[in-house]
Amino acid sequence: MVMPESAAPRRSSPLLFLGALTAGAFLVLVGASLVQELRRRYLLEQHIQALRATITAREQRIAGLKRLEEYLATDAYVERAAREKLNYQKPGERVAIVPHGASPSPAPAPAPRTPPGPSPARAWLRLLFGPP
pTM: 0.45
89: CB partners within 8 A, 6+ apart: 83, 95
Q: What is the pLDDT of residue 10?
A: 61
SS3 assignment, position 124: helix
> What is the rounded distance in angstroms from the CA atom of residue 126 to the CA atom of residue 132?
7
pLDDT in tens, the chain (132 residues): 555 555 555 666 888 999 999 999 999 999 999 999 999 999 999 999 999 999 999 999 999 999 999 999 999 999 888 888 887 888 888 777 777 776 667 777 777 777 777 788 888 888 888 876
Q: How do the domains of the chain map onto residue ranges?
A: 14-91
| 53, 45 Cβ separation under 8 angstroms | no
pLDDT at 14: 85
101-128 burial, b at 16+ Cβ within 10 Å, e below that, comes to eeeeeeeeeeeeeeeeeeeeeeeeeeee
